Structure 1
Amino acid sequence: MISRRHFLAAGLAASALAACRPARAAPAFDARVRADGRGSHATLAAAIADAPGDGRVPYRILVGRGVWREKLVIDKPNLHLVGEDRHGSVIDFDAAAGMARPDGQAWGTWGCASVIVRAPDFRADSLCIRNSFDYVGNLAAPRFEPIGPNGAQAVALMLDQGADRSHLRDVTLTGHQDTLFTEAGRALFERCVVTGSVDFIFGAGRTRFEHCELQSRFRPGKPRQGYVAVPSTPASQPQGLVFDQCRLTREAAVPDASVALGRAWRPGRSFADGKYGDPAALGSAVFLSCWMDAHIDGALGWEPMAYTARDGQRVMLEPRDARLYEFDSRGPGAVRSPSRRWLRAEQAATYSRAAMFAGWSP
């Protein structure tokens, strides 16, 4: 007969053994989209539609290898897209601002993005988001107005109103004009690649890039090849676009001194007395310890940008009237000149991750 003491000892040993066993791992993904048919959903849109709306826990979607031609709106919180292959898992669409939506109206800059985020705590890892509109072909045979909101702007990713605490790692964003529209909330990009030509990183959000590559693409026949950072930061917001230890590179055909670091954007908005450039927008873009190739315009650095004033006149927002700075720039494009304003070390510290993201620890 087993004594009570032996019974208790055996029970304790069994409990201890059970405690040593690893807990059953939660499924790595809540949904899988795969080209080989072994996924849980046939499309990314279907997987997103099945995500819960409360966002209490992350909803992780595996993006399998392949080109997923979908135009996505992410309006549920805490949704994570994880690629199977950074270069092989591609979300792609080809809408330009001047193209017609299904209802016949133009997409516009605010609607043309391949992926639009309108909810907090979005994450993306190890994939590519692309707008494959034929920008160069449109230069040769224009289909749209050359400027304005209904032209050749073709956004890959937009962080729209409702987005906040967006976090992207090891993601490639590919486009030409207006590739990344970071309009709202706080966002962190780590080890990402952003390619484009005209105004290819722009918007009003509080957005930080760490160890990213910003690649300027070639525009045939254009003396000014493009602009990297074009912020429309509210004047009340202390930081806008911050690039920390990034590399500014180029396609081989992009000439020396042909790309500006950026320009400040004062977007038109509707007010009671008309539509004109928002006087509350005072763009902020800062490059911290970035390496710059020789395509960056050493003498000029930044350029002005036109907007419509309250009286209807077209006026220029000059770089000196915005918040456009550098600190510790390096490389052949890092030329010191009177038009390229540098921060002091103590000023640069106000653009740290902690200063930008108080209350959020990505």
Structure 2
Amino acid sequence: MYREKVHIPIEKPCIILKGSGSNTTIIAYNDSANNVGTSDSATFISSPPNVVVSGISFKNTYGSNGPAVAANFYGDKSAIFECSFFGYQDTLLISSGRSYFKNCFIQGEVDFICGEGQSYFENCVINAVQEKSKSIGFVTAQLREKPNDPNGFVFKGGSIIGIGQVNLGRPWGPYSRVIFWETYFSSVITPEGWNLWHVRGDQKESTYIPWHSLFRSMF
């Protein structure tokens, strides 16, 4: 296990970062938004385009007392294969760009797949880990500010498992877009599914449009 923060700077594109498997190659740290802000709390930050990552686990071990990111992707055309991401709140942050995740494992409870990216998740396992003292969480918090923005999250196949209960997501912006397609939903998903994030004071419920959600639930 490597206990450090790793940052691929924007001037270093076309990087291939290959581990020996997510059970073997582990990068962990315990920073949080309380110390450096949400984006910079990430154990791993990838800024440039054309980055390929495979066979690595990224962990933020800070705990459940606020945002603490395991990995943050900025660069366009990022491809991530057979990696694992562990955290509780804001585990996987896709700040911008197009990204592709395949056969990955993503663990958290509150907004733990979040950001403004245009991202496709294929056959990924999403593990919700609600603490008994905490309220129901959210798998996604996607940010899309304008109706013509091309970004959004698409989940093809895979599964959502875990303990306790979790919502599929809540919108970070007025036009947030998340699609679940042929994804297995265990009983961890609430019957309501989605939440409009009523606690946000900067926007009213009437500004939201329905999330585009196509999914097959198999309880």
TM-score by length of 1: 0.57
Q: How far apart in 1 are the matches of 2:158 and 2:205?
A: 26
Asked if structure 2 preserves the Cα contact closer than 8 Å seen for 1:307 and 1:317, the reply is no
Q: Aligned with 2:34: secondary structure?
A: coil
| Counterpart residue number, 1:194 | 106
| Counterpart residue number, 2:184 | 291
CA displacement 1:89-144 (0-9 Å, x = unmatched): 00111101102xxxxxxx01121100111100111111101111132xx4xxxxxx
CA displacement 1:225-267 (0-9 Å, x = unmatched): x1001100242223401111120110xxx23xx211000013x
1:74 equivalenced with 2:4 (yes/no): no
Asked if structure 1 preserves the Cα contact closer than 8 Å seen for 2:60 and 2:91, the reply is yes
Shift of 1:195: 0.3
- Report 1:142-181 matches (<5 A): 152-160=66-74, 163-181=75-93
Unmatched tracts of structure 1, length 5 or more: 1-66, 100-106, 139-151, 267-280, 310-314, 333-362
| Counterpart residue number, 1:232 | 143
| Counterpart residue number, 1:358 | none
Q: How far apart in 1 are the matches of 2:133 and 2:183?
A: 28
Q: How far apart in 2 are the matches of 1:96 and 1:316?
A: 29
For 1:131, the aligned partner's letter is N
CA displacement 1:279-322 (0-9 Å, x = unmatched): xx521111111100011011x1100124343xxxxx4447x924
Q: How far apart in 2 are the matches of 1:184 and 1:214?
A: 21
For 2:22, the aligned partner's letter is R
1:111 equivalenced with 2:40 (yes/no): yes
Aligned residues: 215
Asked if structure 1 preserves the Cα contact closer than 8 Å seen for 2:63 and 2:87, the reply is no
Asked if structure 1 preserves the Cα contact closer than 8 Å seen for 2:7 and 2:46, the reply is yes
Q: How far apart in 1 are the matches of 2:48 and 2:189?
A: 35
Q: How far apart in 2 are the matches of 1:317 and 1:81?
A: 42
For 2:5, the aligned partner's letter is K
Q: Aligned-residue CA RMSD in angstroms?
A: 1.7
Select the structure that is richer in helix: 1
Q: How far apart in 2 are the matches of 1:308 and 1:114?
A: 30
Q: How far apart in 1 are the matches of 2:28 and 2:22?
A: 13
For 1:301, the aligned partner's letter is G
Shift of 1:323: 4.7
For 1:285, the aligned partner's letter is V
Asked if structure 2 preserves the Cα contact closer than 8 Å seen for 1:264 and 1:322, the reply is no
| Counterpart residue number, 2:153 | 241
For 2:71, the aligned partner's letter is L
CA displacement 1:194-244 (0-9 Å, x = unmatched): 0000000001110010000111012122241x1001100242223401111
| Counterpart residue number, 1:56 | none
Q: How far apart in 2 are the matches of 1:196 and 1:322?
A: 26
| Counterpart residue number, 1:263 | 170
Q: How far apart in 1 are the matches of 2:210 and 2:83?
A: 28
Q: How far apart in 1 are the matches of 2:88 and 2:185?
A: 19
Shift of 1:176: 0.5
| Counterpart residue number, 1:93 | 29
For 2:109, the aligned partner's letter is S
C-alpha distance 328-108 of structure 1, shift in aligned 2 (>3 A): closer
Identity of aligned residues (%): 27
Unmatched tracts of structure 2, length 5 or more: none
Select the structure that is richer in strand: 2
Q: Aligned with 1:307: secondary structure?
A: coil
Shift of 1:328: 4.0
